[in-house]
Amino acid sequence: MSNKPISGPHVAATRRVDQIMRLVIIALAPATACGVLLFGWPALYLLAVTVLSAMAFEGLCLKMKGVAAMPYLRDGSAIVTGLLVAMTLPPWAPWWIGVVGSALAIVLGKHVYGGLGQNLFNPAMLARVALLISFPIEMTTWANVSPLLTGPGVIDSLAITFGGLENPDAVTGATTLGWVKTEFSQNRLLPGSLIEYSGLLAFLGWERGSLGETSSVLLLAGGIWLMRQGVIKWHIPVSLLLSIFVMSAVFHTWDSQHYMGPWVHLNSGAVMLVAFFIATDYVTSPNTPLGQVIFGAGCGLLIFVIRSWGGYPEGTGFAILLMNAVTPLIDHYIRPRIYGRYRNGKPLDISNT
Amino acid sequence: MFALFENPRLRGGIHAEEHKSETSPLSIATDFPLPKKLYIPVQQHVGKPAEPVVKVGEKVLKGQLLAYSQGTISAPVHAPTSGVIADVKDFPAPHPSALPIRTVVIESDGKEQWAELIVPEDPFQLEPEEICQRVGAAGVVGLGGAVFPSAVKLSLGRKNKIHTLLINAGECEPYLTCDDRLMQERAEQIVAGIRLMLRGMDAPKALVGIEDNKPEAFAAMQAASQSFANIVVAQVPTRYPMGWDRQMLRYLTGQEIPADGRATDIGVVVHNVATAFAVYQAICLGQPLISRVVTVSGAAVAKPRNVEVPIGTLMSEVLAFCGLEKSKMARLVMGGPMMGDALPIAEVPVVKACNGILALSAADIDEPAVQPCIRCSSCVTACPVGLLPLEMASRIKANQLDSAVDLGLKDCISCGSCSYVCPSNIPLVHYFKFASGELVKRQQAEHKSEQTKRLIEDRNERMERARLEAEAEALRAQEARAARLAAAQQAQQAPAEETV
């Protein structure tokens, strides 16, 4: 019997950090697998390089910090970060994009701030935005859908990931959002530019896009499963998706030539991934339910604003980083009401109770 | 709008593994063998310790007064059995420190000879003052764990206009089933106790709140209170900490007690269900509080069950009665596993506050290493008070205690829900208790330095006054001397002039 004085509780719930991370990985698995199936071996190689380098950078940082790396590597947070970085990359991006992305996410996005739980910005989004600004060509070269079995073979794919694409124009194209933006610049307006767009294929994931972002249905399923597991709460995903829906519905109804409808918005780019897996990042989102609703709605709003009026076709990364920056402010002002007190902290008046 | 995000009547809380089924089906064991020696601390309540009235070597009868109550907030203690006073000495207390406190030691004679008990003819005809007085004299204190003298609460209830007596029968702590069994087996007596309390406070109605994981107790209490329209038995959801009186009150009545107030401020008095039984014993049987039902459980106990034991029995003896496997015991806890105290030794007496003795095994208290906070805000969701445990802990870690107080540290009830759910196993409650202790220490230091400052200032003032007085005195003396000199000179000159 230990005599160390310890206050209660003397029992504890059994869900630990590593279990939470494992559940997140499981929830991300279907969408990731779908990405690999749709974009073939190069996607798998990029995924492996990114995740492995994320773990390597994690281990390196922990070693420099002077702590035992194993317990932290085992908690799985580096794998989740690496996985999320990989999922946001163009599937046929060269290997060094994955490595640099992991380095940005783990070193600059996480350990510079003090490691797990200390970062201000979501590491994966930080990496994505930094890569997009630094390497715009590589980050916007979108491979056509070329499934695992019919696309380039195991060896050819090695050349794509580690040697680079030889004739990109033949096997790549634009994403829906990018296409629409380019068409606008050519003064071609909406219903026409989306003539080949299939809402169903976009929902299922059969379209050009980032490695793990195309399949809305699988991301949605993973997110809902994660909610049912109690890992994430409904507040952020629902408010985020709802605000995009409302904004796009209003503007689309008002001017359908210049504004895409809600279905296109919700099924394009990173919205589903961000709503369930990025915006819900514990560390960089507010603590209170109301704060989370404000955060989610803010993300949705910014995504719509950047997509509709900004210079980039996709705005999820910027929207998340901006709202991450606002999180401390939200947490400062939005606090739960304490029992027996008004929201401003004053005790309740007896006459009012 | 906020109602969208939180049930205004029920906030936070957790659902822990109950571990109640081990003991709840078994009847209360009343065959606990009388121990040879009983150790009765004179302080088993909130307030001033009682003052012993017995001498070493004196013969006492069961129920005889051992130590009398001192001051308004205090409670007497009585002999749990007949025997001889063996000693009045300092003995380890059932407290995490196990520091010794003043304890009366009785060597039992095995005769269980009762002192003369005063039993009223019709207890329900007693004057309210009389009820309060008798409850106080019987040493009845709040048996839910707070051990506040019940008579004080009853009188307080009489002075303030009370509309509801809330009987807290939540028993939300895991493992504990002593109130559950008490209600199943002695519901009639409990209801009699509630009626006496109502009379003692001139209160119109009583509300009994029972968690819905105790259907048998609920049924028993409902049957027992059927003929009394002013006693309502209600079920409340099973969610720790439902037994936090303010939580139960809010759930049942929608009323919230102001942060700086008491339940009486809004016309409510809260008593524990076991206290109601003790009140029944005190009034109807004339018996003081000398025994209580204790849940003995935990994986290191072979025969977990509820036992009625005399106050002052060593916990080690109670554990032995229930088949303790010593090698399996990793932690001994008095009370429930959420808010109970870990005790360093088992050779401490059972006191009035002790509702559970838990011998937990290493598997029960599985304690993985503490990991960094990932700000998952599970603790915010779990907090029944509406605090931000993660923020408070990070401030305390940085030694910013004032900032933690601003966040509501003083409103924390130490229920442990936050620590329970924390996936990083951060001992949040430990931080809060530490900070509260530091604040008290700081307050004391401030008080002391203020006192010192005042004393120094007083002294300086005194010295200054003395100096000024001395100076004035010197001046006066000088003037007097000068005057005398002048007078002498004048006197010298005058005769001279005369002689000229």
CATH code of the domain covering residue B214: 3.40.50.11540
pLDDT at B498: 54
Size of interface A-B (CB pairs under 8 A): 178
Residue type at position B320 = A
State whether residue B389 sits within 8 Å of chain A by CB. no
Judge whether B14 and B247 are in contact, CB under 8 Å.
no
Q: Same domain, yes or no, for B52 and B27? A: no
- Residue A351 banded pLDDT, cuts 50, 70, 90: low
Phi and psi at residue B13, to the nearest 5° = 90, 170
Q: Are residues B347 and B468 in the same domain?
A: no
Q: B245 and B135 share a domain?
A: yes
Domain boundaries, given as residue ranges, for chain A: 17-333
Of the three residues B272, B289, B306, the one that is the final residue of a domain is: B289
Eight-class DSSP state of B141: B
B92 belongs to a structural domain: yes
User: Which residue of A lies nearest to B364 if distances are taken between CA atoms?
Assistant: A11
Residues B395 and B271 occupy one common structural domain:
no
Report DSSP letters for B185-227, one per residue.
Answer: HHHHHHHHHHHHHHHHHT-SEEEEEEETT-HHHHHHHHHHTTT
pLDDT tens, B219-245?
A: 999 999 999 999 999 999 999 999 999
* Same domain (yes/no): B324, B397: no
Contact predicate B338/B16, CB 8 Å: yes
The vertex-A303 CA angle with A300 and A307, nearest 5°, equals 145
pLDDT at A150: 86
Contact at CB, B416 and A9, closer than 8 angstroms: yes
> Is B373 one of the annotated binding-site residues?
yes
B8 touching A (Cβ < 8 Å): no
Domain residues for the domain of B67 are 32-115+315-366
Which has the closest alpha carbon to A300: A321, A277, A271?
A271
Chain B residues lying within 8 Å of A345, measured CB to CB = 408
Q: Do B386 and A337 touch (CB under 8 A)?
A: yes
Task: Provide the CA A309 distance to its chain's centre, in angstroms.
Answer: 22
List the beta strands (DSSP E) in B35-172: 37-41, 51-52, 59-60, 65-68, 77-78, 83-92, 100-108, 164-169
Rounded distance, CA B145 to CA B44, Å?
11
Q: Could you give the CA distance from residue B299 to residue A11 in angstroms, rounded to a whole number?
A: 12
pLDDT at site B330: 92
Inside any domain, residue B498:
no
pLDDT of residue B161: 86
pLDDT of amino acid B5? 46
Residue A244 and residue A300 in contact, taking contact as beta carbons nearer than 8 Å: yes
Kindly state the DSSP code that residue A274 receives in the 8-state scheme.
Answer: I
Q: Is B322 annotated as a binding residue?
A: no
Does the pLDDT of residue A4 top 70, yes or no?
A: no
Peptide bond into B241 cis (omega under 30): yes
Asked if the model's pLDDT at residue A121 lies above 50, the reply is: yes
Closest CA to B16 of A5, A337, A8, A234: A8
User: Which tokens is B340 given?
Assistant: 């109970």
The continuous run of DSSP H or E covering A206 comes out as none
Domain identity same for B267 and B360: no
**Is B123 inside any structural domain?**
no
Scanning every residue of chain A, which has its alpha carbon at the shortest distance from the alpha carbon of B16?
Answer: A13
Residues B157 and B263 in one domain: yes
Task: Output the pLDDT for position B254.
Answer: 87
* ipTM at complex level: 0.89
Q: How many of the other CB atoms lie within 10 Å of CB of A174?
A: 16
B466: number of CA atoms within 13 Å, CB side?
Answer: 6
| B203 shares contact with chain A (CB less than 8 Å) | no
Q: Residue A112: what pLDDT?
A: 95
Q: Give the residue among B158, B159, B136, B160 at the shortest CA–CA distance from B148.
A: B136
Please state the rounded mean pLDDT for residues A157-181: 86
Examine residue B122 and state whether it is found in any structural domain, yes or no.
no
**What pLDDT is stored for residue B1 in this prediction?**
34
| Among candidate residues B35, B37, B33, the one with its CA nearest the CA of residue B105 | B37
Residue from A67, A234, A339 to probe the interface with B (highest B Cβ count within 10 Å) = A339
- Angstrom CA distances, B276 to B141, B146, B194, B299, stand at 10, 14, 6, 31
Please state, in angstroms and rounded to a whole number, the distance separating the CA atoms of residues B16 and A105. Answer: 37
Residue A287: list chain B partners with CB under 8 A.
375, 377, 380, 388, 390-391
Banded model confidence at residue A304, pLDDT cuts 50, 70, 90: very high
Residue A213 has pLDDT above 90, yes or no: yes
pLDDT in tens, B24-44: 999 999 999 999 999 999 999
Please list the residues that pair with B358 across neighbouring strands: B297, B333
The B268-272 sheet, strands edge to edge: B231-236, B205-211, B164-169, B268-272
Mutation pick from A7, A19, A331, A343 vs chain B, by most beta carbons of B within 10 Å, is A7
The whole-angstrom separation of Cα A121 and Cα A123 is 6
Helical ranges in A214-288 per DSSP H: 216-228, 235-254, 262-267, 271-273
Question: Is A353 within 8 Å of B255 (Cβ atoms)?
Answer: yes
pLDDT at B496: 57
Rounded distance, CA A253 to CA A175, Å?
A: 23
Alpha-carbon B30 to chain mean position:
26
pLDDT at B4: 43
> Which of helix, strand or coil describes residue B428?
helix
For chain A, first and last CA: distance in Å?
A: 48
CA B139 to chain centre: 14
Same domain, B435 and B475: yes
**Two tokens at A77?**
């947070």
Q: Minimum mean pLDDT among A282-286, A314-318, B68-72, B437-441: which range? A: B68-72
**Percentage of the residues of chain A whose pLDDT score is greater than 90:** 68
Domain match, B93 and B44 both: yes
CA-to-CA distance for B327 and A117, rounded, in angstroms? 39
The pLDDT assigned to B3 comes to 38
B:158-187 residues touching chain A, CB 8 A cutoff: 174
- Locate A75 and state its tokens: 């908690």
Check: CB of residue A319 under 8 Å from CB of residue A302. yes
Which A-chain residues 207-236 have CB contacts (< 8 A) with chain B? Answer: 233, 235
For the ranges A225-234, A268-277, B1-10, which has the lowest average pLDDT?
Answer: B1-10
Residues B275 and B147 in one domain: yes
Assess whether B151 and B16 both reside in one domain.
yes
Asked if the C-beta of B373 comes within 8 angstroms of chain A's C-beta atoms, the answer is yes
**Residue listed under structure tokens 């139960």:** B248
Question: Which residues of chain B fall below pLDDT 50?
Answer: 1-5, 500
Residues B399 and B263 in one domain: no
Are B149 and B279 in contact, with CB atoms under 8 Å apart? no
Into how many domains does chain B fold?
3
